[in-house]
Amino acid sequence: EVQLVESGGGLVQPGGSLRLSCAASGFTFSSYWMSWVRQAPGKGLEWVANIKQDGSEKYYVDSVKGRFTISRDNAKNSLYLQMNSLRAEDTAVYYCLPQLERRGYFDYWGQGTLVTVSS
Amino acid sequence: SYVLTQPPSVSVAPGKTARITCGGNNIGSKSVHWYQQKPGQAPVLVIYYDSDRPSGIPERFSGSNSGNTATLTISRVEAGDEADYYCQVWDSSSDLVVFGGGTKLTVL
């Protein structure tokens, strides 16, 4: 059974930092692209970033470029998102999601972790 | 950057057919995936690669994609289909994943 357990969310002040983690199990983690997707309260889905199977390619939505860094540890079946210079508009539930290929779909969703940026 | 446009809302009577569109420049050349999200729940994949249906998704759900519009069609709509629906593609020009803004389906 595929399991995706996101953690590391919480309340942080504007300008602060957080590191999200995602523990994956039930599939061959090293064979999948991995993405972070977020959803602000009452808003739609927004793709944030993804990383290739071996970590050699990383892509970001413009709004987080230069502030967020995606990384992975295939030995630990784990995905990370380092978030710096956080803004109120980064407040959202963050999901980590596997994709077999870049043009592919997200068929497994965890419960996500809530990040709240507020003073 | 690539933009996907969905109508904010669609309303349909029970038993009728709902069609939710997703517009994008030459979207017919891309692979489109659709998600259903009910309040308080994570999204669920309902259509992948334009028209394929995951196991467990009713045959009432179907998809098509041509030209500048992809369409999610829900036949014989039930009250339980009331949810937000999102389309998603990968844009090879920018190497980015894109979601549509979402459509709230209301069953009258």
Q: Are A117 and A86 in contact (CB under 8 A)?
A: yes
Residues forming a β-bridge with A114: A93
Q: How far apart are CA A52 and CA A31, in angstroms?
A: 9
SS3 letters across B12-42: ECCCCCEEEEEECCCHHHCCCEEEEECCCCC
Residue type, B42: A
Q: How many CB pairs under 8 A join A and B?
A: 59
- pLDDT by 10-residue block (mean), chain B, 108 residues: 97 98 97 97 97 97 98 98 98 95 97
List the single residue in A47, A95, A105 with the smallest CB-CB distance to B45.
A105
pLDDT tens profile B73-84: 999 999 999 999
Q: How far apart are CA B71 and CA B33, in angstroms?
A: 10
Residue type, B72: L
Put simply, the answer to whether A106 touches B92 (Cβ < 8 Å) is no
Q: Kindly tell me if the per-residue pLDDT of A103 is higher than 90.
A: no
At CB < 8 Å, which residues of chain B contact A? 1, 30-31, 33, 35, 37, 42-45, 48-49, 54, 84, 86, 88-90, 92, 95-102
Q: Kindly tell me if the per-residue pLDDT of A102 is higher than 90.
A: no
Put simply, the answer to whether B42 touches A95 (Cβ < 8 Å) is yes
